[in-house]
């Protein structure tokens, strides 16, 4: 995926720096975990672990299910991103509310990218299209579920946010572009990411949410 984006960048004469998106996205995910840990009065180490779980947890579950070693075990950049995120929160803690919109954008771009990475990795390993959509969603959204379990809260994405659904929509767009319309992987990835970003931004802006399930009272 990164290779593809880099090639696309070269082809479009855009600086070949898309890899930066992944690291900034990783930091944005880690910061979301570290902020929640701080609201629970975790110590620095606990906050780092929650940040790491948020940032690399989804990809770890995906990799375990696909039967490969978690991606972050052989490239220390992901751990370094999380440590930088911790230092950022320690240093700029009280300014984080002001930075809220910035990190929201990074988090959303990261979500879109992680989704595409999950889809492409799953397809490359020969799994069906529908499995790749689920794996993209897990890559993007499962880290937040682990985060909420670690801080002992009901997972946010199950109740309030349009988050995983944006991933699934992006996954459907990817599959439609790539298989149905025969677009190259680069363009499918771009359209998919665009879909995820637009849905998430609109959902937050206009307070979209899914219907609450009314079951029995048991």
- Cα 173 to Cα 96, 141, 151, 189, 195, distances in angstroms: 33, 18, 34, 9, 7
Give, to the nearest 10 degrees, the angle between helix 77-92 and helix 44-66: 150
Residues 117, 140, 56, 38, Cα dihedral to 10° = 150
Cα 5 from Cα 12, distance rounded (Å): 10
99-158 binders of its own copies (CB under 8 A): 100, 127-128, 130-131, 134, 145, 149-155, 157-158
Q: Is 70 in the site for its own copies (CB under 8 A)?
A: yes
Q: Which is nearer to its own copies, 7 or 23 (CB)?
A: 23
- Contact by Cβ (8 Å): 189, 120: yes
Written as six digits, the tokens of 32 are 């979301």
**Of 13, 101, 207, 216, the one binding its own copies by CB under 8 A:** 216
**Of 10, 17, 181, 209, the one binding its own copies by CB under 8 A:** 209
**Of 13, 41, 205, 207, the one binding its own copies by CB under 8 A:** 41
Bin 77: left if φ > 0, else alpha if -120 < ψ < 50, else beta.
Answer: alpha
Q: Which is nearer to its own copies, 4 or 157 (CB)?
A: 157
Q: Is 215 in the site for its own copies (CB under 8 A)?
A: yes
Q: Is 40 in the site for its own copies (CB under 8 A)?
A: yes
In whole angstroms, how close is the CB of 34 to its own copies at the nearest point?
Answer: 7
Cα 75 from Cα 177, distance rounded (Å): 31
169-208 binders of its own copies (CB under 8 A): none
Instruction: Tell me which residues touch its own copies (CB under 8 A).
Output: 34-35, 37-47, 49-50, 60, 64-70, 73-74, 76, 79, 89-90, 93-94, 96-97, 100, 127-128, 130-131, 134, 145, 149-155, 157-160, 164-165, 209-218
């Amino acid at each position: 995926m990164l290779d593809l984006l880099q090639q696309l960048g070269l082809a479009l004469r855009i600086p070949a720096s898309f890899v930066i998106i992944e690291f900034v996205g990783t930091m944005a995910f880690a910061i979301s975990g570290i902020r929640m840990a701080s609201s629970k009065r975790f110590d620095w180490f606990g906050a780092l672990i929650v940040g790491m779980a948020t940032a690399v947890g989804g990809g770890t579950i995906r990799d375990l299910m696909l039967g490969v070693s978690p991606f972050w075990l052989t490239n220390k950049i992901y751990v370094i991103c999380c440590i930088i995120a911790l230092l950022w929160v320690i240093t700029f803690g009280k300014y984080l509310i002001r930075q809220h919109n910035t990190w929201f954008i990074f988090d959303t771009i990261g979500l879109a990218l992680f989704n595409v990475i999950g889809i492409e990795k799953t397809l490359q390993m020969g799994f069906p299209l529908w499995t790749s959509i689920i794996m993209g969603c897990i890559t993007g959204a499962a880290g937040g579920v682990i985060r909420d379990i670690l801080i002992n809260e009901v997972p946010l994405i199950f109740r309030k946010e349009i988050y995983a659904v944006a991933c699934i929509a992006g996954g459907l767009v990817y599959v439609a572009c790539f298989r149905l319309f025969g677009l190259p992987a680069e363009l499918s990835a771009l359209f998919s990411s665009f879909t995820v970003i637009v849905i998430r931004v609109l959902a937050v802006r206009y307070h979209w949410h899914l219907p609450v399930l009314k079951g029995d009272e048991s």
